[in-house]
Chain A
């Protein structure tokens, strides 16, 4: 198991530096570009081998676009995506062409959110899971079949189910098939894009437990994307909190939830319903709407909703910097604010 304090001594597997991606907004018959949606607006983080890093945020925060840019399902506009391959060389995934990327695909695999659309309804389970093997020319038919059998067992499904089609399975089982498919190539990094959001609560626990067990057994590295803070708390070693395309804070779940350093993190935690009816508190509720990534505010994107905003916040975007307490935070007032304790959009220690 990885421990937060050892993070610095591990070698980084993936380093994302200043990633940017915008989508043009096109209007009219001639499809003129009238603006841009800044989906990812200068995002940087590092994932170490064997750890689980989560990207957390609400809609429009850019977490999905970030992972798609990393996987080159879309091409980044700017920035670097430095990945350490199995041959111990570092390549910049953002720079390569799609045909150069293809042989590298076996290093990074993905688990998708929707169990119903992530499996081709016209292929049976064997075909679905063996596709990555087939496409990369791995093994003959018998070896592939053995590998699929092994994978199905590992995710807790009977190998006899190989001939069945996806419509025969429940949501939780389909996600397990998706996990088996992602494991097929023994990837160095697995990106999980909201893998349990589409599942019932009782099934979520099964899948999360499975993912953690597999990680322990095979030393997997996860990049986990979720909007659900409780799930993130359970599975992550470190968490990156995003707001409208930018990183606002990075830390371990303990640090973030007990001692948030950014007002948005604090607001997120404060907004979470407490699953203890004896602890209903009157909490201040964060006002306003999530900023529009097509037309974000000036300076710090969070300033219109932030109870601690100053003139500087309206004008100047705060850089993501290491605070004196050893945390990466993007806030001008990080040294002054005391936000500790969930449920407080606390008072500034003036």
Chain B
């Protein structure tokens, strides 16, 4: 049997001058104002998503990846607040709207949620209303963002259930969320998110709670639906293996900032930021020799409230330079073709 690796498209800057990216997040800042102090959950995240592309955001706990996703659609609950930055959505490549300018929960942003931008979550059980049938919910989603009547919406819904691989879709329409298994709920959530044909799908750890074989099925569905609909995906996860499978571009986050961003092959083959390097080498894989000691990163991730001064990774960094790393915060700078990292090893300014 032939095994041919499929080529992943790395479309980063193949654009004519003047074409705006589909989604451009610039210097996003979301802080949580708690009694104990201000937690800078996201402190200057920037990245772009191009049409048809998958951007993977990877990071460990406290890095702010989920908050970033929620900030895009302005679904941050208090005490969290978006305090700075821009999220520019450009559907035609020429004009863009800043999503953060829109009234939170106003008509404009609600049209976008579930319309141009859809989101799926880690825990599908809590994403569905337990007291409404599944059919009820997906039809509502369709009708909110289109002018179809009830019957047409129902037909479309059943069609989508079939496309995501749920058996006997007609029957499942009148069932409740608890009657679905974990994998089916995730598929149902995908159906509900995609039935309005969004341009961007934000997937927040969609497979983390699933078994490995179910995860493979879901990733498979996502990728085939993405091709069919020419959709972009913003895929958030802590699993580097999944990122390697699905992403075209990777953004690595640490304590609220994007520390490295670039095409997926480049990031895996030649990571530049010390955190990315350490993360990649500390991952156990099934190719590793047994009982091999994986290098680990010393220490633990600091609590976002106790963020270290200067570069937030410096206390754990094997390449720590005492004269600058603890004092100044590095910015993203170019370290290769289409690759950026925020580290003073590659330039001080």
A/B: CB atoms within 8 Å of each other: yes
Which residues does A use to contact B, with CB under 8 Å? 1, 58-59, 170-173, 200-206, 208-209, 212, 227-231, 233-237, 252-254, 257, 267-283, 285-287, 289-290, 342-344, 346-347
Contact partners of A283 in chain B: CB under 8 A? 216
- The interface-forming segment of B32-40, B237-245, B322-330 is B237-245
A286-B8 contact in complex given A208-B294, A272-B212, A273-B239, C-beta closer than 8 Å:
no
Cβ of B297 to closest chain A Cβ, rounded Å: 4
Nearest chain A CB to B175 CB, angstrom units:
15
- Which 9 pairs from chain A and chain B are nearest by CB? A273-B241, A205-B296, A271-B216, A58-B211, A230-B284, A205-B282, A200-B60, A202-B297, A170-B300
| Identity of the chain A residue whose Cβ is nearest the Cβ of B212 in the assembled complex | A271
Q: Which of chain A's residues has its CB closest to B300's CB? A: A170
Is A59 in contact with B211, judged by CB distance below 8 angstroms? yes
Q: Assuming A200-B61, A234-B292, what are 14 further A-B pairs, CB within 8 angstroms?
A: A205-B295, A206-B297, A209-B296, A227-B211, A229-B286, A230-B241, A233-B285, A257-B286, A273-B215, A273-B239, A277-B265, A287-B217, A289-B181, A289-B184
Q: A-facing mask of B225-256, CB < 8 A → 1, else 0?
A: 00000000000001111101101000000000
Could you give 11 example pairs across A and B, Cβ below 8 Å? A58-B212, A170-B301, A229-B212, A234-B288, A270-B216, A273-B241, A274-B241, A280-B244, A285-B216, A346-B1, A347-B1
Q: Give chain B residues whose Cβ lies under 8 Å from the Cβ of A286.
A: 213, 216-217
Cα A271 to Cα B300 with chains together (Å): 30
Q: Does the CB pair B60–A204 fall under 8 Å?
A: no
Instruction: Please state if B245 and A231 are interface contacts (CB–CB under 8 Å).
Output: no
Pick the contact of B3 from A269, A278, A281 — CB < 8 Å? A281
Q: Is B152 an interface residue (CB 8 A)?
A: no
Contact bitstring B166-184, A, C-beta under 8 A = 1, else 0:
0000000000000001111
Docked-complex contact A275 and B6, CB < 8 angstroms: no
Tell me the bound Cα distance from A233 to B294 in angstroms: 12
> Is the C-beta of B128 less than 8 angstroms from some C-beta in chain A?
no
B264 at the interface (CB under 8 A from A): yes
Does residue B268 face the partner (Cβ distance < 8 Å to A)? yes
Task: Tell me how far the C-beta of B299 lies from the nearest C-beta in chain A, rounded to whole angstroms.
Answer: 9
Among A257, A272, A277, A280, the one with the most B-chain Cβ atoms within 10 Å of its Cβ is A277
Q: Which residue of B lies closest to A1 (CB)?
A: B291
Name B264's closest neighbour in chain A (CB-CB).
A277
In this complex, what residue of A is CB-closest to B62? A200
- Indicate whether B278 reaches chain A with its CB closer than 8 angstroms: yes
CB pair A58–B1 under 8 Å, yes or no, is no
A234 touches B301 (CB 8 A): no
**B348 CB-CB contact with A under 8 Å:** no
B211 touches A201 (CB 8 A): no
Residue pair A285, B217 in contact (C-beta under 8 Å): yes
A330 to B125: give the CA distance in the assembly, Å: 35
B347 within 8 A of A: no
Known: A209-B293, A234-B290, A235-B291. A227 touches B212 (CB 8 A): yes
Tell me which residues across on chain B come within 8 A of A274, comparing CB atoms: 241, 244-245
Known: A205-B294, A285-B216. A272 touches B286 (CB 8 A): yes
Residues of A within 8 A of B215 (CB): 271, 273
CB contact between A276 and one of B268, B292, B301 (< 8 Å): that residue: B268
Chain A residues contacting B282 (CB-CB under 8 Å) are: 201-202, 204-205
Q: Which of B266-292 contact A (CB under 8 A)?
A: 268-269, 278-280, 282-286, 288, 290-292
Question: Hey, which chain B residues are within 8 Å of A171, CB to CB?
Answer: 300
Q: In whole angstroms, how far apart are the Cα atoms of A191 and B170 in the complex?
A: 46
Task: Tell which of B247, B290, B297, B301 has the most Cβ of chain A within 10 Å.
Answer: B290
CB pair A209 B294 closer than 8 Å: yes
Once the chains are docked, how many angstroms separate the CA of A280 from the CA of B286? 16
Report A245 CB to chain B, min CB distance, Å: 15
Residues of B within 8 A of A289 (CB): 181, 183-184, 214
Nearest residue (CB) in A for B265 is A277
Residues 139-197 of B contacting A (Cβ, < 8 Å): 181-184
The answer to whether A280 and B5 have CB atoms under 8 Å apart is: yes
Compute how far the CA of A253 lies from the CA of B247 in the bound complex, rounded to whole angstroms.
29
B3 & A343 in contact (Cβ 8 Å cutoff): yes
Indicate whether B220 reaches chain A with its CB closer than 8 angstroms.
Answer: yes
Cβ of B126 within 8 Å of any chain A Cβ, yes or no, is: no
Complex alpha-carbon distance, A334 and B247, angstroms: 37
Contact among B212, B241, B284 for A231, CB-based, below 8 A: B284
Contact of A282 among B6, B216, B291, B296 (CB under 8 A): B6
Q: Do A281 and B61 have beta carbons less than 8 Å apart?
A: no
Whether A58 and B213, one on each chain, are in contact in the complex, defined by CB atoms closer than 8 angstroms, is yes
Given A58-B213, A281-B6, A290-B211, A269 and B240 contact (CB-CB distance below 8 Å):
no
**B297:A233 contact, CB within 8 angstroms:** no
CB within 8 Å for A202 and B213 given contacts A208-B294, A277-B268, A278-B265: no
Complex Cα distance A320/B239, Å? 34
Q: How distant is the Cα of A254 from the Cα of B291 in the complex, in angstroms?
A: 12
Report the bound CA distance from A269 to B286 in whole Å: 9
* Contact, CB under 8 Å: B238 / A200: yes
> Which residues does chain A contribute within 8 Å of B297, judged by CB atoms?
202, 205-206
Bound: A228/B212 CA distance, A = 8
Of the candidates A201, A254, A277, A282, which one forms a contact with B283 in the assembled complex, judged by CB atoms under 8 Å apart? A201
| Nearest Cβ on chain B to A242's Cβ, whole angstroms | 12
A59-B211, A202-B279, A280-B8 known; A253+B245 contact, CB < 8 A: no
Interface: B13 (CB within 8 A): no
Interchain CA distance A158-B280 in the complex, whole Å:
29
Taking the nearest CB of chain A, how far is it from the CB of B122, in angstroms?
14
Instruction: Please name all residues of chain A whose beta carbon is closer than 8 Å to the beta carbon of B4 when the two chains form the complex.
Output: 281-282
Q: How far is the CB of A33 from chain B (nearest CB, A)?
A: 22
B213: chain A residues within 8 A (beta carbon): 58, 267-268, 271, 286, 290
> Chain B residues near A234 (CB, 8 Å)?
284, 288, 290-292, 294
